[in-house]
Structures are given as C-alpha cells and as structure tokens.
C-alpha cells in the first residue's frame, strides 16, 4: 500500500490533518506582526559637536579628526563620513546592516569618551544620537499659533509635548525643527563698552561672578534641620540689566548701560512653515529596530490627548506621515491576493467545467497559504509587502499540485475507472512528480534566503514564505486532494453540457498539438538552432536593459533641496523659499506643503509637497516631478532639486546618485577634479540635476594681527582673540533658569554692529596700561574664500557629486558614466566610493544575479538525485533560459528595468517553468518503462497527455499575476515589474516547453525500454 492510499481510504485522517493545518495556521496568522518590510536594522550613529565661533579648519583639526580616529576602530562599521563647518562638527558612523544598534551606540560612546579631554575648552560636549539614517523623519507634526511667540511655542513643546512623544515605544527622538529655545541675549554695544573702559571679557566675568548658582546646603541642630537656598542667580531680563559690571568713581555701571538685554532665542538660523503658516515642527524618528507602523500608530493615538491639553492659542496637525503609504500599500497587496484567488478559481473552472472539480483547488489554495503562516511565525517572520507578494505568487504555485492531481484522476475516470480506483492510481502516479516539483521549487527559493546584505534581508522572508506554501501544498496535494477527488467525483462520470464541450475542445487541442509536435520532431535541428539563438540573446537583452536597485514608487510626496549662496542669511533664504508656496498651490492634486529653512546649514532649505491620497488623483508624482523641477528651478537666488523618497529602507539621506571622490590632497586640488567631473556630468545629458558639495565659494576674512604692535601695547593674543570671541562667537557663557529649566546666556554684538567685516576695526581691547585700543591699530583684514564645508569620507578629504537622473535614465547609467570619467580625470592618489542609494545599488545590484546561477545549479542537483540521471535535468531545465529570454524581451523594450523585483521574478521562473518539464520527462520515462515505447513515441504521448495540466497550471499562474500588472496606487510599480516577468516568462516559456523539451528529450534522454517489465515499474501510468 502506498502512502497516498492511506489518506484515500481513511478520509477522516486526511480531513483531520488538513483541519490541523488550518487551525494552527489561523492562530499564527493573527499573531504575525504587520510591517512594511522584514525587520532590517540600519543604524547610523551621529556625533554632533558645537564649537560656536570656530572656523571650519579649527573644527576639523581639533574636533572632527580626533573623534573620527577614535570611533573608526569600533566594531561593525560600514563607513564613516564627516562634515566640518564653522562652529559645528557632524560625524556620521554608518553601521553594517543588521549590526545591533545598542551595541554600536555603547561602543561609539566609549570611543568618544576616550578623546573628550582632547577637545578645545570652548567646545561643547559631543551629542551622540542613534538613528536609522533616514533623510526624512517618519512623521512631521506641526504646531502653530497666531498669538504665541515662537519661543513660547518651543518652550511648551519642550516641556510638555516632546517628553510625551519620546515616551512612545519605538520613538528614538522627537526632534524639534524650527524651534526658538529661550536664551538670555546680551546684545553688546562696542562703543559704549569702550566709553566705560570695559571689554567683552569684563562683561563675561561679571556675568559669571554675579549670576552664580550656589548650592549652600542647610543648617542642622540637635532636632531640626533647615534647607537653605541662596538667591545668587538671575532669572529675568530686568535682573540681568541691573547686574553691575564695573564700579568707577563711586558710580555703578550696569549691564543695561552697555548692552541691550532681552529674553530671545538661542538661534535665529532656522524657521519652518507649512501651507504658508509659520510653525514649529516635531520630527518623529524611530529606533533602528522599531516597526514604523507601530510607532506611527502610537503617535496617532497620543495626538488627541496632546491636542486636548494644548493652550487655546496653539494648534497642532500631522503634516506628513510616511506610514500612510505603508498601510495603503499593504491594503493594495491584500486586495490583490483576493483578486488573484478569485481569478484563478474562475480559470480552473473554465478548464475543468465542473464545480466539483474546482472545489478541490479552491480549498487547497487558502489552506496552503494559511498553513504557510504557521511556518512564518515559527521562523519569526512578519506580514509585510514582500511576504504578501509571496502569497500572491503562491496562489499560482500551490494550485498547480491540486490541478495536476484532479486532472489525472479525471483522466482515469474518463477511461472507465471508478472514482476511488482512479484516485488511488492517479495519486500513485503523481506522488513522485509532485515531490519532485515541490523539492525543485524549494531548491529554487532556498538560495535567495542565503543571500547576504540588503537583498538577503529583504527577500529571505519572501523566499521562505513561498517555500513554506509549496511545502504545505505538496502535503495537501498528496493527502486531501486525492481523498476529496474520490468523494466528489463518485457517480460523476457522465458529462453533459459545458464540461462535455470542454473535454471535446481539449481532445481536439491535444490531437492538433500532437500532430504539430510530430512535425517539429521531424526537423529537430531547426529547434536546436532556435534554442541556441534564444540562449545567446539573453546576454544581449540583459546588458541592454535598464538597471537599477528598485523602481521609484509613488509615495505621495516629493521633496526639494534648495541651496542659496554661501553667504546667504536666514532672511535671504526665507524670502526666496517662500516663493515655493505659490508654485505648490498651483498643483491641482496638492494637499499639504512645508518649507524648513536652515536644515543642515543656514543656506540650505528642505521643502515637501504632499499630494492627495491615491484614490483622489489620477496622476502619479513621477508625472508631476518634471513640471515641479522646472518651476522651482525658476526661483531666482536658489538652486533647487526635486527628488522622491527612496523606495527601499536603509538608503540614507541625500540625492539618488552620490559619487564620492576621496584623496589625501588638499581641498583646492580636490575641487579642481570635482568641478571637472561635475561639468562633464552636466554635459552628458544623463542627469536632470548635478551638484558638487565641495564649493570653495564661502567668503572668509582673515584677521591678521600685527604681533609686534600688539606686544608694544601690552596686548596678548588671548586679549584679542577673547574679545572677538565674546563679541562675535555667539557661544553661551553660563545658564539661567525659568520655572525649573535652564537656558543659555549668550553675549554677542547685535546684527547691525557686525553687518560687515570692516566694523571689526571699531571694536576695542584694553592695553596693559588700561587704555582702550581700537582693533584697527593692531589688526588688518584679508579677504579669502573657503569651502562651504570640509567633508571627509573614511577619514580622507572628500567631495560628493550628487545627482538626479533624467526621466527614463537608470542610476546604473549615471554611475557607470561618472566612474569612467573619474578614471580619466583623477590623479593616481585619488579614489572613488559611494554613499546613500548609490552605495546600495553598487553593493546589492548583482547579488541576485549570482543567486540565479546558484539556483540553477542547486535545482539541477536536486533533479539529478530525484531522476537518478544527470541528463534528464538538462532536458527539464532547457526551457529556463527560454522563459528568461521571454521576460527579458519586455524588460529590454522598456516596460520595466532589471531591479531586485524583476530579478526575483526571474529566479521564480526557474521553478515555475521547470515543473512543466518534470511532468513531461517523468511521464515519458514511465511510458518507456511500462509500455516499452521508444523515446519518440513516449515523449509525444507524454507531452500530449500532459498538455491539459500544463496549460491549466500556466493559465492559473499567468492570470494569478494579472492583478499585479493592473495594480494601481502605492507600491504599484514594483508589483507590476514582478508580475510582468512572471506573466511574459510563463507564456513564452510554456510555448518553448511544449516543443523544445520533447526535442531535447530525443537528443539527451536515456532509453528506458530495457527497464520495461521490471518489478519496480509494473504499474501502468495510463
């Protein structure tokens, strides 16, 4: 008795096994977490160190360099980049994919602590933050008021809202953007200081001496103790104005006499607005291991409570939420699963013509998919866009086994067998092929799960979900399907109407195909030549197609990055950036828009244009992108580029193309090479926008001290430098408190008195004899230009060519062009690297190509073991390149690109198309063994008999992916690319299977006639 016989003869056992799969699978399905992508930990540790007033050279040499050298030795680092600008050092440590973020943070903090004592005395403590490296936050919340000042709004957010948001699970940081934190601004008047014989250092000393935090303790007697609080500090602008800075001739000179004191803002360099209203934003940054959907849900749940507690004059609104795209994309895929299921069941009915026959695969499909959920939960997977896509493909995969079983049993019943007898014989015949097909598909998907890097992290769950569905499908096909067929088909031998007409149609089709196949086999060399031509064309089609890591998706928002002149002020940037609002409002599908000035530097602006939901507009953001680029490029005074959100996680921030030039040479030599490459790129016609981040255009004035004169007047360099630092640096010298929270005290010259470098000469310092000496007596000014920022990559001086490709141009073409031109332009001591999305493409672009060949080898070995032959697998797999060629034709024609989705589709085709060859070759071998037929007669008959199940399985798979090809809304492009490959590859591959496999069988297959009559082959396949 065969294993399949047990389940046919014991229907309760078969039913219980299936119910067990159903119950366990349903329980697992409700426990699976919902995410956008499989859990991927992309960690970026950012070390920010402020040194107000310091030049970029000073920041780089005394802050950036020692910290970089220390952290570079930490474990798990992919690359380190840094940016040194006047007053600020920012070091980004990009960790390897999957490296534990908490371990990374701990080790980086330890490394920074080792060199903290080497930092200059005037610099602030390094701030170390852990994040995902996203260019934009997960969510932006806007808080705005027409009655409250920006300082009041910021203070409320800092005290009340920010702690609540940062307490939500998964939130790494609730960053306030455009905030105006309270600070006591001491606007010094140089002329008045000189008139009273005061220097800026005197003011600083008076502040430190008279705004003093005293921790005096308390008194203690035998039985009573009393805490003491000495009010030696200051709290209000009035108190600061009354602070005595000098006593002269019995008169007291107060701070208010030499400076304007106000409760102002810590910085005026940035501002934010949305829909034209001035606002303060809070950006929600998730932790590297957090689920963005859970974080966004937590924030949305907290918002009503936050809004209810806001002051009546303060309003709040969610301006941007990237989880909306995620949720809508997941809903679209779930909808696609339902559509594919209905379409596949309808197609099966059209092939079988019997509702009873359709019931078997109709039960098999959901049972296999639900059963796969149990394996997914056991493996720690989630329901995400990729595992749900795997479920869509699984519909066409898992139905194959049930179709083959039903069709074979149906064929035996037509020859006069009873239903039970036909089920037993049909299941026996197909046990081997079904196991072979199941092992084959699992062997195809297994290598995908073993790929490293981003591709492996993304698609391992996709691959093993499909493998799990195939595994469960194989179990159901050998247990439940034969039993159901035996019960449902009992007494159903007589066919009339639609079913009879279908049988007649397929009978005619089978005869016609067998005649055509016979004529084809008479001219086998022609078939072989055609197969060789198709095989040779694959390389040309693949090389000529567009290549990119992933297609650009419509995520409902377009971002803009705008740069002003290097000497631009916040007022300049705001005046020009406000012109964006008129442009945004002219887009009919515009919903919300915002502008953030001072993001990453005073002369930098980030803007966003969010569109209406997908269901409310008929135009994609990619269609709007060229128009928006043209219009924002027309804003005079700013250089602006439009770009979409990256399609894949971990792409970091910045433009899609980031080509990094590194060298040990100085920045001026580097600038010559970078500008030459930038000019070449602009002239190439490949790029819509090209920029070079090394711009040696920032005005700088060197204050040259006549040391001899200074010495003769008794002035030290400390006197001169200290005066300039106190007047211009903008660093805080101490702190004061308001209602239990401390804020900075910042002495500085007012804007009108530092409007240009020549005003420095009117500042005064005190000589050794107490005389006030104008700086013009000991200094001269020399104009220079310097880089806007001193950037480094892997501790080498670096310049990055950032670019956006023209519509229709893939990122591969841009990177290849830059790489080739760089080789011609760069001296020997220069090198190249990549960042952001470009780095992802270079590292991951060919990962699946190698996996494709590995899958071919692995499936060949599995088939060789199952068929006990090294020749039969070659016959089976010959149609793989044929189907690949069929898919590549349409990719070459521009309907899609070679990306990770189409590559996954090509790998999937290996298993799909090889199932047809397995059916033909296995059955032909059995016909030779059981009936003593020669190779030609056996393969002609096998191909003709298996024509109907091959066409049915092909139709089921092809129509199953039609919803992917007709998809709209979020995530539609990647679904279309995957569906296109499966659709075209299966159609063309099946056509080749029906004619090339029999021809190659004649050439390679071993004759099995000698095995006829052996005990192992007594059962007839017919």
Q: What CATH fold (topology level) applies to the domain 43-131? A: Alpha-Beta Plaits (3.30.70)
Write down the residue that tokens 């060197």 correspond to: 702
Taking the chain, what is the end-to-end CA distance rounded to the nearest angstrom? 19
Nearest alpha carbon to residue 113 among 122, 100, 125, 131: 125
Write down the residue that tokens 């519509």 correspond to: 807
Q: What is the dihedral of CA 864, 868, 872, 873, to 10 degrees?
A: -10
For the chain, how many residues are written?
A: 1022
Largest Cα–Cα separation, the chain? 129
Q: What is the pLDDT of residues 918-954, one digit of tens each?
A: 888 888 888 888 887 888 888 888 888 888 888 888 8
CA-angle at 935, arms to 931 and 938, nearest 5°: 50
pLDDT over 80 at 1012, yes or no: no
Helix 11-31 vs helix 453-488: angle between axes, to the nearest 10 degrees? 150
- Tokens, residue 547: 């290549």
1015 sits in which H/E element: none
Stretch 726-751: mean pLDDT:
89
| Homologous superfamily in CATH for domain 1-31+353-494 | Multidrug efflux transporter AcrB transmembrane domain (1.20.1640.10)
784 sits in which H/E element: strand 779-787
Measured distance CA(726)–CA(717) in Å, rounded: 14
Measured distance CA(157)–CA(309) in Å, rounded: 11
Strands 182-188 and 741-749: parallel
Strands (E), 379-433: none
Write the CA distances from 91 to 56, 652, 793, integer angstroms.
14, 14, 10
CATH code, 134-330+724-773: 3.30.2090.10
Rg (CA), the chain: 37
**Model confidence band, residue 115 (pLDDT cutoffs 50, 70, 90):** very high
Find which of 45-49, 416-420, 503-507 is predicted with most confidence, using mean pLDDT: 45-49
Return the DSSP state at 547. B
Measured distance CA(323)–CA(336) in Å, rounded: 20
- Tokens, residue 849: 């190509």
Helix 947-960 vs helix 972-1004: angle between axes, to the nearest 10 degrees? 160
Measured distance CA(403)–CA(477) in Å, rounded: 9
- Tokens, residue 95: 């960790």
Measured distance CA(597)–CA(159) in Å, rounded: 24
Measured distance CA(569)–CA(550) in Å, rounded: 38
411 sits in which H/E element: helix 385-414
Nearest alpha carbon to residue 279 among 141, 170, 166: 141
- What pLDDT score does 1015 carry? 45
Q: What is the pLDDT of residues 512-560, one digit of tens each?
A: 988 898 888 888 898 889 888 988 899 899 988 898 888 888 888 999 9
- What pLDDT score does 978 carry? 92
**Model confidence band, residue 495 (pLDDT cutoffs 50, 70, 90):** low
Domain 495-555+842-1009 has what CATH class?
Answer: mainly alpha
Measured distance CA(643)–CA(562) in Å, rounded: 11
Measured distance CA(420)–CA(15) in Å, rounded: 16
Nearest alpha carbon to residue 842 among 870, 815, 874, 868: 815
- What pLDDT score does 301 carry? 94
- What pLDDT score does 1017 carry? 45
Measured distance CA(652)–CA(97) in Å, rounded: 12
Fold match, 43-131 / 495-555+842-1009: no
Stretch 880-886: mean pLDDT:
90
Measured distance CA(400)–CA(393) in Å, rounded: 12
Stretch 250-266: mean pLDDT:
91
Q: What is the pLDDT of residues 186-214, one digit of tens each?
A: 999 999 998 898 989 999 999 999 988 88
Measured distance CA(396)–CA(573) in Å, rounded: 56
Average pLDDT of every residue of the chain: 87
- What pLDDT score does 496 carry? 61
What are the structural domain ranges in the chain? Answer: 1-31+353-494, 43-131, 134-330+724-773, 495-555+842-1009, 561-697+790-841
Helix runs in 32-177, H state only: 56-59, 65-71, 101-115, 150-156, 162-166
Helix 453-488 vs helix 900-931: angle between axes, to the nearest 10 degrees? 40
User: Is residue 603 within 8 Å of 571, Cβ to Cβ?
Assistant: no
Q: What is the pLDDT of residues 551-572, one digit of tens each?
A: 888 888 999 999 988 888 889 9
**Model confidence band, residue 1019 (pLDDT cutoffs 50, 70, 90):** very low
- What pLDDT score does 4 carry? 76
Least confident of 173-182, 329-338, 449-458, 1005-1014: 1005-1014
Measured distance CA(814)–CA(795) in Å, rounded: 26
Strands 830-834 and 657-663: antiparallel
Name the 3-class secondary structure at 791.
strand
Q: What is the dihedral of CA 6, 10, 14, 15, to 10 degrees?
A: 180
Q: What CATH fold (topology level) applies to the domain 561-697+790-841? A: Alpha-Beta Plaits (3.30.70)
Nearest alpha carbon to residue 692 among 674, 670, 668: 674
Helix runs in 242-384, H state only: 255-258, 292-309, 323-352, 355-378
pTM: 0.84
- What pLDDT score does 259 carry? 92
95 sits in which H/E element: strand 88-95
User: Is residue 53 within 8 Å of 729, Cβ to Cβ?
Assistant: yes
pLDDT over 80 at 652, yes or no: no
Q: Which distant-in-sequence residues (6+ apart) come within 8 Å of 53 by Cβ?
A: 87, 122, 725, 728, 729, 730, 731
* Strand partners for 281: 142, 177
pLDDT over 70 at 477, yes or no: yes
pLDDT over 80 at 741, yes or no: yes
From the number of C-beta atoms within 10 Å of its C-beta (0-12, 13-18, 19+), residue 694 rates as buried
Q: What is the pLDDT of residues 216-251, one digit of tens each?
A: 888 888 889 898 888 888 999 999 999 999 988 788
Stretch 477-484: mean pLDDT:
86
Measured distance CA(594)–CA(437) in Å, rounded: 54
637 sits in which H/E element: none
Share of the chain above pLDDT 90, in %: 34
- What pLDDT score does 375 carry? 93
């Amino acid at each position: 008795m065969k294993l399949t016989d047990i389940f046919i003869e014991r229907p309760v056992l078969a039913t219980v096994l299936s119910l067990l799969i159903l119950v366990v699978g349903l329980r697992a399905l409700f426990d699976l977490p919902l995410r956008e992508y499989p859990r991927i930990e992309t960690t970026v540790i950012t070390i920010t160190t402020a040194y107000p007033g310091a030049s970029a050279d000073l920041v780089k040499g005394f802050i950036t360099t020692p910290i970089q050298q220390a952290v570079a030795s930490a474990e798990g680092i992919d690359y380190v980049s840094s940016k040194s600008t006047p007053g600020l050092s920012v070091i980004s440590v990009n960790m390897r994919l999957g490296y534990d973020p908490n371990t990374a943070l701990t080790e980086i903090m330890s490394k920074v602590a080792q060199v903290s004592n080497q930092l200059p005395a005037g610099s602030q403590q390094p701030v170390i933050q852990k994040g995902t490296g996203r260019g934009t936050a997960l969510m932006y919340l806007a808080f705005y008021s027409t009655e409250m000042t920006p300082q009041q709004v910021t203070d409320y957010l800092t005290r009340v809202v920010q702690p609540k948001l940062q307490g939500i699970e998964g939130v790494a940081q609730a960053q306030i953007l455009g905030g105006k934190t309270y600070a006591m601004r001491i606007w010094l008047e140089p002329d008045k200081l000189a008139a009273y014989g005061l220097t800026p250092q005197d003011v600083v000393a008076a502040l430190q001496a008279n705004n003093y935090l005293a921790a005096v303790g308390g008194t203690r007697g035998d039985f009573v103790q009393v805490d003491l609080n000495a009010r030696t500090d200051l709290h209000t602008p009035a108190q600061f104005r009354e602070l005595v800075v000098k006593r002269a001739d019995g008169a007291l000179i107060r701070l208010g006499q030499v400076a304007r004191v106000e409760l102002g803002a810590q910085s005026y360099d940035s501002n934010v607005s949305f829909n034209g209203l001035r606002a303060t934003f809070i950006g929600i940054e998730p932790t590297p291991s957090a689920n963005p959907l859970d974080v966004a849900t937590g924030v949305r749940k907290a918002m009503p409570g936050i809004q209810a507690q806001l002051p009546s004059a303060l309003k709040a609104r969610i301006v941007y939420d990237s989880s909306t795209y995620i949720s809508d994309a997941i809903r679209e895929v779930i909808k696609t699963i339902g559509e594919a299921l209905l379409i596949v069941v309808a197609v099966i009915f059209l092939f079988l013509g019997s509702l009873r026959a359709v019931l078997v695969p109709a039960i098999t499909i959901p049972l296999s998919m639900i059963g796969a959920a149990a394996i997914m939960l056991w493996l720690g997977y989630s329901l995400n866009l990729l595992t749900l896509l795997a479920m869509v493909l699984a519909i066409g995969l898992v139905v194959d086994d049930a179709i083959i079983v039903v069709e074979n049993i149906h064929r035996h019943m037509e020859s006069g067998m009873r239903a039970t007898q036909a089920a037993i014989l049909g299941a026996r015949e197909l046990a081997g092929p079904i196991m072979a097909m199941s092992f084959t598909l699992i062997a195809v998907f297994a290598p995908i799960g073993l790929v490293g890097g981003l591709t492996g992290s993304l698609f391992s769950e996709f691959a093993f979900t499909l493998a799990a569905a195939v595994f469960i499908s194989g179990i159901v096909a050998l247990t439940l399907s034969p039993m159901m067929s035996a019960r449902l088909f009992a007494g159903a031998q007589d066919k009339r109407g639609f079913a009879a007409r279908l049988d007649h149609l397929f009978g005619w089709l089978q005869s016609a195909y067998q005649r055509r196949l016979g004529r084809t086999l008479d001219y086998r060399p022609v078939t072989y030549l055609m197969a060789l031509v198709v095989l040779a064309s694959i390389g040309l089609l693949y090389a000529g197609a567009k290549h990119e890591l992933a297609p650009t998706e419509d995520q409902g928002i377009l971002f803009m990055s705008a740069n002003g002149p290097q000497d631009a002020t916040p007022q300049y940037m705001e005046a020009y950036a406000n012109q964006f609002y008129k442009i945004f409002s002219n887009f009919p599908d515009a919903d919300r828009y915002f502008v953030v000035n001072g993001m990453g530097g005073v002369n930098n602006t980030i803007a966003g244009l969010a569109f209406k939901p997908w269901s409310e507009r008929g135009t994609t953001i990619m269609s709007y992108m060229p128009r928006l680029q043209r219009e924002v490029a027309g804003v005079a005074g700013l250089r602006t580029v439009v770009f979409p959100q990256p399609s894949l996680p971990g792409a970091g921030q910045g433009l899609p193309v980031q080509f990094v030039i590194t060298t040990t040479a100085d920045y001026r030599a580097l600038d010559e090479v970078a500008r030459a490459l930038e000019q070449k790129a602009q002239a190439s016609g490949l790029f819509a926008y090209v920029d070079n981040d090394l711009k040696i255009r920032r005005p700088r004035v060197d204050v040259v001290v006549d040391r001899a004169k200074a010495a003769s007047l008794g002035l030290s360099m400390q006197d001169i430098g200290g005066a300039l630092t106190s007047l211009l640096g903008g660093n805080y010298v101490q702190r004061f408190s308001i209602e239990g929270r401390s804020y900075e005290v910042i002495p500085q010259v007012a804007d009108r008195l530092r409007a240009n470098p020549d005003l420095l000469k009117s500042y005064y310092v005190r000589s050794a004899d107490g005389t006030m000496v104008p700086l013009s007596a000991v200094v001269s000014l020399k104009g220079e230009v310097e880089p806007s920022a001193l950037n480094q990559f892997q501790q080498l001086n670096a310049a990055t060519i950032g670019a956006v490709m023209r519509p229709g141009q893939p990122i591969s073409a841009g990177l290849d062009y830059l790489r080739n031109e760089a080789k011609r332009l760069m001296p020997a001591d220069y090198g190249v690297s990549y960042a952001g999305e470009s780095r992802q493409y270079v590292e991951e672009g060919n990962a699946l190509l190698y996996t494709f060949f590995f899958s071919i080898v692995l499936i060949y070995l599995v088939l060789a073991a199952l068929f006990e032959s090294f020749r039969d697998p070659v016959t089976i797999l010959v149609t793989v390149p044929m189907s690949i060629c069929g898919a590549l034709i349409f990719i070459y024609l521009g309907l899609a690109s070679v990306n990770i989705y189409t590559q996954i589709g090509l790998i999937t085709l290996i298993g799909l198309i090889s199932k047809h060859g397995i059916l033909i070759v296995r059955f032909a071998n059995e016909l030779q063994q059981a009936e003593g037929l020669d190779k030609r007669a056996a393969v002609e008959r096998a191909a003709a008999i298996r024509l109907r199940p091959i066409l049915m399985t092909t139709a089921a798979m092809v129509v199953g992916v039609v919803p992917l090809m007709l998809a709209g809304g979020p995530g539609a492009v990647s679904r279309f690319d995957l569906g296109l490959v499966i659709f075209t590859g299966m159609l063309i591959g099946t056509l080749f299977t029906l004619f090339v496999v029999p021809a190659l069988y004649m050439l390679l297959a071993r004759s099995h006639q000698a095995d006829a009559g052996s005990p192992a082959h007594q059962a007839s396949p017919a």
